[in-house]
Amino acid sequence: MTQTAVEIEGVRKRFGAATALEKVDLNVGTGEFLSLLGSSGCGKSTLLRIISGFEQPTEGSVRIHGTDVTRQPPERRPTNMVFQRGALFPHMSVRENIAYSLKLKRWERSRINDRVDEMLALVRLEGFADREPGKLSGGQAQRVALARALAGEPRVLLLDEPLSALDLKLRQQMQLELRAIQKRLGATFIFVTHDQTEALVMSDRIAIMNNGRIVQHGTPRDIYRRPNSVFVSDFIGATNLLRGTITAVEGKRVVLRTDSGTFHALASDMAVKRGERAALSVRPEAISLRRDPGATPEGYSVAGLVDEIIYQGNTVRVGVRAASGAAIWIEGRGDDFDGLSSGTAVVLSWAPDAAILLREDTE
């Protein structure tokens, strides 16, 4: 077990009558890349601001490498932050921006210069030391912001949606660069994002937040394969949700009756009762499509008519309308669906372990 870099214990945050965070517990390991993922207003930025010291929790504590920093102001914490839109000092050159924290630490001038050069090399901006921040592109500005935050060797680097203002190509490139820098330095990164793809690509671990709580955390693979709620399965990647009522429970095997038919599923580690509302989550890429009805696996298939075919280049999405009217999406390689057209009668089926039973979220 690696050493814990950040321990968040029972953190609650209220703004007046509104509750932004509801008793959050979270540990981040040293050298870990953790993403806080959620839609806007879920509390992820508030949590980051509590770790950085810009907000005080109403209750609970924050420890960094064993030291309680809950009441420490931001300038005394061993954390540094990369802001959403860089927040570079517009009246200072790139070099002065990166040197700022080192100057405050009263480093010697030559040592500062060496460190700035090292940081510029790290973010591949060697020739840019004397530029004004106003003359940098969005991607360059974020690289400088990263260099500035890393210059003082923070024990934990906090990143508040630093790539969200960049266009897609550049964002994808910066995701890989950030990940590579983090690996090379072995630093602890806490990364806030609302972009699930970004979180999946970059993180060692993802904590998904909703309504001020962490609803699930785990590796990207765990979260994608084993979501623990309808919210998570819907938020991470695309999924088909078949909602209904549990009509039979035999050990782990569960029968769920929905408008689109009766399905079987495995209740992995969740206790379910007859009569409970539940949903079945089946990923679009886990569904296979056949044109002949033939022998369909009872409980793991549904028949319908092709409704829409959406060409996406490397993949194709097909919307199938079940007899009940429910739309089920499947996704596959382009040539998987040659010869299909709107109105074609098809049968959709999936492997028994591809269907994940989820309790309906209680709001």
Partner 1 sequence: MGDDMVRLRKLLPAAFVGAVLAYLYAPIAVIVIFSFTTSPRLSMPIEGLTLDWYTSALSNSLISTALRNSLLLASVSALVSGVIGAAFAFGLVALKRPRLRASLLGASMLPAIMPLLVIGIALAVFFRLMHVQQGLLNAAIGHVLVSLPFVVLTMNARLETFDFSVLEAARDLGATPGRVLRDITLPLIRPSIIGAALLAAALSLDEFVVTWFNIGSQLTVPVLVWGLMRRGIDPSINAIATMLLALLVCLVAASALLNRKKSK
Contact 4, 156 (CB under 8 A): no
Candidate list 4, 12, 72, 100; residue touching partner 1; CB under 8 A: 100
Instruction: Find the farthest-apart pair of alpha carbons in the chain and give their distance in angstroms, rounded.
Output: 79
Candidate list 52, 140, 239, 258; residue touching partner 1; CB under 8 A: 52
Nearer to partner 1, 90 or 186 (CB): 90
Candidate list 105, 183, 253, 274; residue touching partner 1; CB under 8 A: 105
Buried b (16+ CB within 10 A) or exposed e, 113-131: eebbeebbebbebeebbeb
Nearer to partner 1, 76 or 169 (CB): 76
Measured CA to CA, the distance from residue 211 to residue 91 in angstroms comes to 39
How many binding residues for partner 1 (CB under 8 A)? 25
CB of 209 to partner 1, least distance (A): 22
Check residue 149 for interaction with partner 1 (CB under 8 A): yes
CB of 89 to partner 1, least distance (A): 6
Return phi, psi of residue 49, to 5°.
-70, -25
Nearer to partner 1, 104 or 327 (CB): 104
| CA quadruple 149, 155, 160, 163: dihedral sign | positive
CB of 195 to partner 1, least distance (A): 20
Nearer to partner 1, 10 or 73 (CB): 73
Check residue 148 for interaction with partner 1 (CB under 8 A): yes
Nearer to partner 1, 75 or 130 (CB): 75
| Contacts for 253-260: CB closer than 8 Å, 24+ residues apart | 254/278, 254/357, 255/299, 256/280, 256/357, 258/324, 258/326, 259/324, 259/325, 259/326, 260/302, 260/322, 260/323, 260/324, 260/326, 260/328
Stretch that binds partner 1, among 99-107, 164-172, 193-201, 326-334 (CB under 8 A): 99-107
Contact 79, 64 (CB under 8 A): yes
> Strand 277-282 vs strand 253-258: parallel, antiparallel, or unpaired?
unpaired
Check residue 104 for interaction with partner 1 (CB under 8 A): yes
Return phi, psi of residue 54, to 5°.
-80, -20
CB of 92 to partner 1, least distance (A): 9
DSSP letters spanning 311-329: E-SSEEEEEEEETTS-EEE
Give residues 151-190 in contact with partner 1 (rule: CB under 8 A): 152
Candidate list 7, 23, 27, 54; residue touching partner 1; CB under 8 A: 54
CB of 101 to partner 1, least distance (A): 4
* Contact characters 63-92, partner 1, x per CB under 8 A: ----------xxx---xxx-xxx-xxxxx-
Q: Which two tokens stand for residue 182?
A: 């983090």
Binding region for partner 1 (CB under 8 A): 52-54, 73-75, 79-81, 83-85, 87-91, 100-101, 104-105, 134, 148-149, 152
